[in-house]
Amino acid sequence: MSTKVLICDDSRIARKQLAKVLPNDWNVEIEFAENGQDALQQIAAASFDILFLDLNMPVKDGYETLEALQGVAGAPVVIVVSGDVQPKAIERVKAMGAAAFHKKPASSEDIRELLLDLDLLTQQNQLTQPVSRPHETAAESFSLQDTLQEVSNIAMGRAASALAEMLNVFIKLPVPQVNILEVSELQMALEYSVKEDSCSAVAQGFVGSGIAFEALLIFNDSSFPDMAQLLGMSQDYSRESETELLMDVSSVLVGPFMSAVGKQLNIDFSHGHPTLLGQHVKISDLINVKKTTWKRTLAVEIVYEVENYQINCDLMLLFTEDSVPTLEHLLSFLAEDEE
Amino acid sequence: MSNQADGLADFHWMFDLLHHIDVGLVVLDQEYRVQLWNSFMENHSGVSSSIAKQQSIFSIFSDLDADWLKQKIDNVFGLKTPIYISWEQRPYLFEFKCYRPLTSIADNMYQNVAIRPISGPDGRIKQVCLVVYDVTDVATNKMAFDAVRQQS
């Protein structure tokens, strides 16, 4: 008898990658869902044995899905596969009924071992003749945006985990946004994400293998009191200690993020020293669009929030125009690898 | 035999390079003991490499804020990520005289410092490297610029 498996992830690449690494001697029928809502609908319509569940998704995320599954009779065994590797995330999903947690991307050996551990891959449901796994659709091409979003998603989980470890808190992770922006749109995007009048920012440059970009960490100024408290600074902290705080948070968020991106793309980036772009300035003064020479940029935007604290910071990666073709080329290899 | 000689020659010029590059390089182990101390550090601090080696960085520079720096270094070991210290948060980590005492307006060298994890052959992080950049010119220019902007 075949086992019915549902793979739920908002990224097409992640869905496809996971379907590919399932043991090919495992007698399974695979279905896909794009978010928690979609998965729950499919589970209500037909019974599934196993649900592979991502955590950070739009519409309904993994936590909400786990919550909704509690009390559902005949609910599938849930294996969370996520880029968010914070110990608290793992603890939380297990408390919510997930059978196991695995970090993204999982290899076929990892998955086999996990399934054996959970007693889900048994003699009864093994095929004598291994099959090649069907992909979601046969000739699928991934856009630069899709691939970069998934790469960022994995990298962001690593960065949040580093920050969470340093501060002993839980970082809420949203889905990273990947867009090609015109100069004028960048200003709008920044103003939209930073809702307050004043903010502080650190910029750091990266270059490697024909790809150049800046990582911009923008802090809402109202985040400072809580951040200072978390780092154990005294109440009357000075402007210098604010700078210190900014530099520390940017080191801890940007460093692991970049090494995770670099690892996936196989590039050892050179890091510039981070620079303080501005302290307590208006977002419009941060990047003066009139002075810029570039027209369009590829931007990845990630908003980090710390649970139970008034802390909100925005990480933006801005790629230079001439990096885009190279990046596209490298990412296409990555998408192909997963075929 | 010739291969061995080549290897030794490579090692020699690399060592020479590390020593005479115009940035400060200090390698520390997990007990904050100095493993490498290049000429930049020797010349600016007046402490020779042979004296610095195996000593704790905190006994060489007694004025360092030990708790503060230890936490930074421990984070680099723990999180395996570089951590940066900018002259804007602390004008300098090591108290060195300015390179150009006659034509520069600064008394001390302003420094940007990067603390980087160094991985061993087994991939584990047992040492960190402090890279000290002299940014006196940048800092004095920036401060002069800010002063003018505040007046206008």
Q: Is the pLDDT of residue B57 over 80?
A: yes
Angstrom distance (rounded) from CA A275 to CA A221: 18
Burial class (CB in 10 A: 0-12, 13-18, 19+), A324: middle
DSSP one-letter string for A287-317: S-GGG----EEEEEEEEEEETTS--EEEEEE
Spatial CA neighbour of A269 closest among A210, A328, A327, A321? A210
Query: For position A289, what pLDDT does the model report?
Result: 58
Using an 8 Å CB-CB cutoff, list residues of chain A that contact chain B.
Answer: 162, 165-166, 240-241, 243-244, 247-248, 250-252, 255-256, 259, 271, 273-276
Q: Considering the entire predicted model, what is its pTM?
A: 0.75
Please tell me the number of Cα atoms within 13 Å of A141 on its side-chain side: 4
Q: Cα separations (Å) of A233 from A229, A276, A310?
A: 6, 20, 16
Show which of residues 8-67 on chain B sit within 8 Å of chain A, judged by CB atoms. none
Please tell me the number of Cα atoms within 13 Å of A147 on its side-chain side: 20
Whether residue A276 and residue B86 make contact (CB cut-off 8 A), yes or no, is yes
Query: For position A335, what pLDDT does the model report?
Result: 63
Confirm if B98 and B107 have CB atoms less than 8 A apart: yes
Cα–Cα–Cα angle for A17, B81, B83, nearest 5°? 145
List of chain A residues whose C-beta atoms are within 8 Å of the C-beta of residue B78: 165-166
pLDDT class of A338 with cuts at 50, 70, 90: very low
Token digits of residue A148: 């970069």
Confirm if A215 and A316 have CB atoms less than 8 A apart: yes
> Among A119-123, A298-302, B76-80, which stretch is predicted with the lowest mean pLDDT?
A119-123
Q: Is the pLDDT of residue A47 over 60?
A: yes
List of chain A residues whose C-beta atoms are within 8 Å of the C-beta of residue B75: 166, 248, 252
Please tell me the number of Cα atoms within 13 Å of B114 on its side-chain side: 20
**Beta bridge mates, B97:** B108
Confirm if A134 and A30 have CB atoms less than 8 A apart: yes
Whether residue B82 and residue A251 make contact (CB cut-off 8 A), yes or no, is yes
> Using one digit for the tens of pLDDT, what is the confidence trace for A224-274?
888 888 877 766 667 777 888 888 888 888 888 888 888 888 888 888 888
Token digits of residue A295: 């027209």
Token digits of residue A54: 């991502």
Q: Is the pLDDT of residue B93 over 90?
A: yes
Q: Cα separations (Å) of A329 from A105, A260, B137?
A: 21, 18, 40
Angstrom distance (rounded) from CA A96 to CA A73: 15
Q: Cα separations (Å) of A53 from A14, A84, A96, B121?
A: 11, 12, 13, 36
Task: Give the mean pLDDT of A136-161.
Answer: 75
Angstrom distance (rounded) from CA A187 to CA A100: 42
Tell me which range, A264-278, A316-330, B22-36, is most confidently predicted by mean pLDDT: B22-36
pLDDT, chain A, mean: 82
The pLDDT > 70 percentage for chain A reads 89
Show which of residues 71-130 on chain B sit within 8 Å of chain A, judged by CB atoms. 72, 75, 78-86, 88-90, 112, 114
Please name the residues in contact with A185: beta carbons below 8 A apart, sequence gap of 6 or more.
A179
> Using one digit for the tens of pLDDT, what is the confidence trace for A192-210?
666 667 888 898 988 888 8
Query: Shortest Cα distance from B3 to chain A (angstroms)?
Result: 29
Whether residue A271 and residue B80 make contact (CB cut-off 8 A), yes or no, is no
Identity at A134, one-letter amino acid code: P
**What are the DSSP E strand ranges found in A128-188?**
171-172, 177-182
Whether complex ipTM tops 0.90: no
Confirm if B104 and B139 have CB atoms less than 8 A apart: no
The dihedrals phi and psi of A168, each to the nearest 5 degrees, come to 55, 55
Q: Which residue has the higher pLDDT, B102 or B117?
A: B117
Count Cβ atoms below 10 Å from residue A265 Cβ, excluding itself. 19
